[in-house]
Chains A and B, each alone.
Chain A
Amino acid sequence: MLATASLNGIVGHAALIIGLAASVFGALGLVIANVTGDGRLLRTISNYAWMALGGAVVAVAVMERALITRDFSLAYIQQVGSRDTPALFNVTALWSALEGSILLWLLILAIYTAVIMKRNRQRLDDPLVAWALVVMFTVTAFFFFLSFGPIDAFKNGPVPDFTRCCLGPNPLLQNHILVLFHPPILYLGYVGFTVPFAFAIAALITGRVGEGWLVATRRWALYAWGFLTVGILLGGWWSYEVLGWGGVWGWDPVENASFLPWLTGTAYLHSVLVQERRGMLRVWNISLLVATFSLTILGTFITRSGVLASVHAFSNGTIGPYLLGFFGVIVAVSLGLIAWRGDRLRSPGAIDSPISREGAFLANNVIFTVFAFIVLLGTVFPLIVEALQNRQIAVGPPFFDRLSMPIGITLLFLMAIAPVLPWRKASTELLRDRLFWPAWCGAGALAISVFVGADGLAPLLAFMLGGFAGGAATRQLLLALRRQGWRGLVGRANGGMVVHLGVIIVAVALAASNSYTRVAEFTLQQGKPVSYQGHTFELVKLQQFADARSTGVKALIRVDGGKSYAPAITTFTNFGTKIPTPSVRNGLLNDLYLTLEPSVRFDGTEAPVKIYVKPLIVWLWIGGMLMAAGTVLAGFPGRRRRVPTDPVSAPIELESAGV
């Protein structure tokens, strides 16, 4: 036991130090080779990327091995491992606390660096590529350093005292398959923004601030965004299926930390089009990428350094200063480079009219940036007040809901108008023509909502604008399909419209489920059905269960005389806390969401339950899938413009454009 134990620690440490050294040498070697023009040195650089990747892979593999073999000599395994965690959750325990989640980050970062290296190994003499890889190596080195030094992922633990240690991961992280997917996919997006950031910095250093670097990283930014989107939605799904409060998003600091780069990343994906087309907004686009990347670091600082308490913040007091310092360096270096390259970043040209594609992108950027500012402010505001006045306050979901509602409505409105706008300038006549059917789609959506009994101004506005925006996106897709055949679904503009449709579905689902959820508490008794909101609920029986790590009770509840659902309360013997697990009947119109209250008596005949009727929530996940599909479609090459003088936006066919 002890022999393998020390072996895991030793190999893990060795892997980290090799990865750290490889990253440092890779960065330094690239700089030296580029300054001196040493071709022989340059050809060796790709080895360092492979070595760094090898270090990260071995570190993660060893940690997994330690988890699987229950090597309790390591402090981390004492923290998240246990003898009786089921295999699946034992594997996912890797990212259930700080040390392992930084290892996961490291692995993904090393993979990205290696892929960039492989794809560009013939172009290392190009300073743009070289400097981008220097940035990638530097960030990788920082994370190797973090996991080797301040965090010390492979630290030896004290002699395990099994009465107090080795309880396994948090019980909430060991009862749903989504813990296998949500964190890695989220990190693929979170970490993926390092790539466009690296190229932006390289563009500043080399002075090649034209559009070349944008084109090189366009798909990277797109896919990072797609992974982040899917990761965030999977998190919402997990919250819904596991936490039992019936919600998908709680404006928790950790959620906000993932949402912030999503907001600035979304702004970037739109404004980058203006630069590609018109060569403008160079400083702005670089700033958005810098903001996106630095917000991932700041978010990690806020949530992982213990300064803010949160449901899923892992605190560890030692890494705060390093993350904050790294954040400071990123911001200072980026701002310094932007100032230094100020003359080259100034771009010629002008945006002629606010009512144009460019104008809409700018409006989008203003809103997304303000949104990001609000989320950041709300997240750190309690810290600011505590620092200034030594007084604790909270900024909770109602604050964010109140401010994000008008923002969401405005974004839906923009999504309705923007797709039909041509570049340069639009006339009212053109708007009147192109927006006609989309606007009637909006009116139709509103009419249906009112007809089925929806009330309240805000949700009705959301449904109407959802219909309007959906009409506009569908119109663009139909026109593209007619012009280009199946290619009308691929390419950035068309894939983007599919993403828009997904966003609209998500927005409508959120508006409906936030506004019209009905909830009530009942004490169900066997044989006495209760009806609520047009459904009947009957307690069949209470059933106790027990396994090696937990005991619990579930209430079999027959819904509408058909299938039974079984919300449960589980007590994990190691932790002693009662964990409620909801049971959900999904439906296209309504989800029925049942939770058993902790006050249930295990040997009783009554079930205190909470019943939520949540409309349209399934469409959140459907919309999310559509967003993912749209991202993939947008990544395919679209129709190529043959000559640069081709009209920027195809003329509409007035006579036949009946959509």
Chain B
Amino acid sequence: MKRAVKSWPSWVLLVMVVAGLLAVGAARDAAPRSPKERVEDISKRLACPICEGESVFESRNADSDAIRVEIARQVDLGTVSDDQIINFIAQRFGSKVLLVPRATGIDALVWALPAAALVCAVVGLGVAFHRWKLAADTIPDDADRALVADALAADASPDADEP
């Protein structure tokens, strides 16, 4: 009975339920952002030009206020994208206000290197598993069998875990 409950059909049901719920939940998110949300999103991607470690969104000083006003003005125009607004601000204050680094020039490395590291790590792991598989598939010869026989005959010690 228990086995039947856990069989493939109930897993298929599970996957369908999950997919349906995810679809419902994700679709709710698709509503267009309000202007206020857009200003919030953009100001979170910009650093306050005169303070350390705060975004324009969090910062309370006059420069950040001015930037927020400018963002709101451009958002209200409704004709420019988030990225265009951000580029506009970055031209004024320099690329040090970009909290999300550009993907051009040397700055692109900050995006490319993590991807490269992930690929290297996964490929490395794949190679390791391949070699382990080759090692495990080696057919034992007589010398190996003799070693095993010796070990079995002599082995009464509990340290068998120790290679």
Contacts and interface: CB of A to CB of B under 8 A. Distances in A.
Contacts of A388: 106
Given A351-B129, A366-B125, A433-B6, A310 B26 contact: no
A560 interface: no
B100 to A, nearest CB: 5
Interface stretch (A54-62, A333-341, A342-350): A342-350
B18 A393 contact: no
In this complex, which of B109, B121, B158 has the most chain A Cβ atoms within 10 angstroms of its Cβ? B121
Interface string B16-38: 01100110111011000000000
A28 B142 CA distance: 51
- The 7 closest A-B CB pairs, nearest first, are A396-B99, A350-B132, A455-B28, A279-B163, A392-B96, A455-B29, A436-B6
Interface string B62-82: 000000000000000000000
A629 B24 CA distance: 37
A456 B30 CA distance: 8
Contacts of B95: 391-394
Interface in A344-390: 347-352, 354, 359, 362-363, 366, 369-370, 373-374, 377-378, 381, 385, 388-389
Given A279-B163, A378-B110, 14 more contacts: A310-B52, A370-B117, A381-B101, A393-B107, A394-B47, A394-B96, A397-B44, A398-B44, A398-B45, A439-B14, A456-B29, A457-B26, A598-B60, A655-B2
A449 B107 contact: no
B52 A370 contact: no
A277 interface: yes
Contacts of B158: 643-644
Interface stretch (A114-122, A157-165, A194-202, A440-448): A440-448
Nearest to B136: A350
B101 A394 contact: yes
Contact of B114 (A370, A433, A644): A370
A210 interface: yes
B58 A245 contact: yes
Contacts of A210: 162-163
Given A245-B58, A394-B101, A432-B11, A403 B114 contact: yes
A211 B162 contact: yes
Interface in A20-55: none
A396 B22 contact: no
A274 interface: no
18 contacts: A252-B53, A276-B161, A352-B133, A352-B136, A366-B125, A392-B94, A396-B45, A396-B47, A436-B11, A443-B21, A446-B25, A450-B21, A457-B22, A457-B26, A464-B21, A464-B22, A599-B60, A644-B161
Contact of A366 (B2, B29, B121, B163): B121
A573 to B, nearest CB: 21
Which DSSP category, helix, strand, loop or mixed, fits chain B's interface? Answer: helix
B92 interface: no
A277 B14 contact: no
Contacts of B154: none
A528 interface: no
A395 interface: yes
Q: How large is the interface on B (under 10, 10 to 19, 20 to 34, 35 or more residues)?
A: 35 or more
Interface residues of A, number: 72
Nearest to B36: A520
Contacts of A1: none
Interface of A: 210-211, 245, 247, 250, 252, 276-277, 279, 309-311, 347-352, 354, 359, 362-363, 366, 369-370, 373-374, 377-378, 381, 385, 388-389, 391-399, 402-403, 432-433, 436, 439-440, 442-443, 446-447, 449-450, 453-457, 460-461, 464, 597-599, 643-645, 654-655, 658
B132 A352 contact: yes
A370 B118 contact: yes
Contacts of A433: 3, 6
Contacts of B129: 351, 354, 359
Contact of A398 (B97, B100, B125): B100
Contacts, number: 161
Given A245-B54, A245-B58, A252-B53, A460 B113 contact: no
In this complex, which of A210, A389, A399, A461 has the most chain B Cβ atoms within 10 angstroms of its Cβ? A399
Given A370-B117, A378-B110, A432-B6, A394 B18 contact: no
A388 B105 CA distance: 12
Interface in B43-62: 44-45, 47, 52-55, 58, 60
Given A245-B58, A374-B114, A403-B114, A363 B28 contact: no
B114 A449 contact: no
Contacts of A449: 25
A387 to B, nearest CB: 11
A392 B101 CA distance: 11
B155 to A, nearest CB: 10
B100 A442 contact: no
Contacts of B14: 439-440, 443
B151 interface: no
A453 B58 CA distance: 27
A533 to B, nearest CB: 14
Given A311-B53, A464-B18, A399 B110 contact: yes
Nearest to B102: A393
B134 to A, nearest CB: 9
Contact of A349 (B11, B113, B163): B163
Given A377-B114, A655-B2, A456 B96 contact: no
Contact of B101 (A348, A399, A456): A399
B114 A351 contact: no
Given A377-B110, A443-B18, A350 B133 contact: yes
A396 B55 contact: yes
